Amino acid sequence: MRIKVKRIREVELPQYQYPGDSGVDLINAEETFILKPMMRKVVPTGIKVEIPTGYELQIRPRSGLAAKHGITVLNTPGTVDSSYRGEIKVILINLGEKEIEIKKGMRIAQGVLVKVEKIEWKEVKRLRRSKR
């Protein structure tokens, strides 16, 4: 699917690392910084996107950062709605025990395009029983 993207900083466009990947890598677009244990930071990616109606862009952690360093996306999955046109930012948190240097251009999260169905509520007097 073709998605409109606008660079607002000098960054590479998000890309898939391997043909079978479901997520594109998002990068840190600001200068290198230190993320201390239990510290969180809103990190700009340097891009804006136009997601089609009926879809969202989910912001997810990178498994390598999480497993090796305890760095994850705080509000995972983060949601970029089709109506949002601001810069995509990632809320990182360091759940590890050591300070981690987040370099400019470093891959910090993944973006996954997901189809979204709208809820149409149907109010009823009873629901079917379940085993729980």
Q: What is the mean pLDDT of residues 25-33?
A: 98
Three-state SS for 64? helix
pLDDT over 90 at 118, yes or no? yes
Residues in contact with 60: Cβ distance below 8 Å, sequence separation at least 6, in sequence order: 23, 73, 76, 77, 78, 109, 110, 111, 112
Residue-wise pLDDT for 90-110, tens only, equals: 999 999 999 999 999 999 999
pLDDT over 90 at 132, yes or no? no
Segment holding 63, helix H or strand E: helix 63-69
- pTM, two decimals, is 0.90
Q: What is the mean pLDDT of residues 35-58?
A: 98
What's the CATH superfamily of 4-115?
A: Deoxyuridine triphosphatase (dUTPase) (2.70.40.10)
Residue-wise pLDDT for 70-94, tens only, equals: 999 999 999 999 999 999 999 999 9
**To the nearest whole number, what is the mean pLDDT of the chain?**
97
